[in-house]
Structure 1
Amino acid sequence: MRWTTTMDNVLLGTLVEATRDGKKCGMNKWQDSVLKSMRPALSEIAKEEVQQSHIDNRLRQMKLEYRNFLELKGRSGVAYIPSKQELEASNDYWREIMKNEV
């Protein structure tokens, strides 16, 4: 299954709304009914059945991407530009990061 921006928006919007409604249990858990309730909308967008495992995997991937973003944002030589929602650094800095990551 390939996730789209629209699917991510439905996923995140549902989680935000559920959190406001007090349906979050602990740091990273929501009531089962919350995750089940978004499956029909996600399935319609994806034009295929979205399983609970798809949602769990996407949430895990989003958490990993967010941790990586925070780590990169915290490095010296990198600036976050909120108006652009971008990280900014010199070309030399990006080359060095990519060389070390590969």
Structure 2
Amino acid sequence: MNMLFKAIMVTAIIAAGGSSALAESKKASAPGQDRTCLITTKNPGSFNDADVADAKWLPRKAAEAQASKDPDTMRVFDYDQDALVMNKTYASAEELCNKHFN
């Protein structure tokens, strides 16, 4: 009986750990997890750093929808491979988006 109880406990612990790992993997691919930087410029058509009026870190779908309304003043940028992220000036594309243009 004691051995049966231990076997049930071990099975329950393994199942709980597996379901938690499964939940984490689903969370990573949940809608809204793919995020990007929506840049708004004060000079239509020019997206140089000096021209940026606003930067928002948003879910990609929302950022693309907003940018499509006025492509002359809003554009979506992915900064994952930007030199400022690659050389560790900023820890991530999110940090670059949130801090670089302020």
* TM-score of the pair, normalised by structure 1: 0.28
| Structure whose CA Rg is larger | 2
- Using the size of structure 2 for normalisation, the TM-score is 0.28
Higher relative contact order structure (alpha carbons within 8 Å, sequence separation ≥ 6): 2
Report which of the two has the higher share of strand: 2
